[in-house]
Amino acid sequence: MKMTWDGYGKQLVKLVRVERHGETHEIADLSVCIRLEGDFAAAHSAGDNSHITATDTMKNTVYALASDGTGEIEEFAARLVSHFLRINPAVSKATVDVWESPWARIPVGGKPHGSAFVRAASDKRTAVVSGTREATTVRAGIDDLVVLKSSHSGFEGFRNDIFTTLKETSDRIFATAIQANWLYASTGLAYGTLWQGVRRTILETFAQHDSRSVQHTMYAMGDAVLATFDDVAEIHFSLPNKHHIPFNLEPFGLRNSNEIFVPTVEPYGLIEATFRR
């Protein structure tokens, strides 16, 4: 028997770091996943663990390195990648996924409180850093950015066959939870500023685009990001179509003037694409 690939790691290491500046605190709320690839065949075939870094050690490493600060999540992931490549010669590639849950300061008397926070938004900031001893790649992203538009969205002219029942419409609710990730053309960038800019561009394009389909708007968002940010080499979108079905009020002698909808959870359409400059 030949083993064609192997890897292992630690999933969902939860970390909250409080950075204290007197009465003003900063919160980093992170989830970290680590995967190592390399010369681990003997652990499988002979039970020889001499090249294995224990996954519990990986967990401890996250907390130990965080004691020096986390910074931008891309930078923290890169530090972890570099550490695992340096500490274990058997590791040929390390990949670290990090996502950050945002917190916002609670306003008190019109001013933001220094150490009290409320969950800021539905979406999470994500980063994936993969490194070998020759090269490092950095991907950033957004997960679960829930958006909805109640105008300038339709779905018409689609293919009909014997099982088609969906009605064409030029005026529908378009709702989705945007998952996007993009590849940076280089490393050592102003990651936080870039992430905020890409997020803003995606949201503005979604809001302003005259959408003929989820695909149509997805293309527009990708085109806007690549046209605006030279540091982004490619971007991938995954958009679940969160359907809103007009409710039939006719049995009650009422008319639904495209105002009453039933949001559905499952099943749902899933549209994905990758765009590269």
Distance CA(76)–CA(63), nearest Å, equals 11
Active-site annotation holds for 243: yes
Distance CA(147)–CA(188), nearest Å, equals 31
Distance CA(197)–CA(203), nearest Å, equals 10
- Catalytic choice (10, 59, 209, 242): 10
Helices (H) and strands (E) in the chain, counts: 5, 12
Least Cα distance to 12 among 97, 101, 122 occurs for 97
Active-site annotation holds for 236: no
Catalogue the E-assigned strands of 242-268. 244-246, 261-263
My answer on whether omega of the bond before 267 falls inside 30° of 0, hence cis, is: yes
Active-site annotation holds for 14: no
- Catalytic choice (25, 55, 113, 187): 55
Range 43-51 contact pairs with CB under 8 angstroms and sequence separation of 24 or more: 44/3, 44/6, 45/3, 51/88, 51/90
Distance CA(143)–CA(31), nearest Å, equals 13
Structure tokens at 74: 């891309």
- Catalytic choice (59, 124, 242, 243): 243
Residues designated catalytic:
10, 55, 243
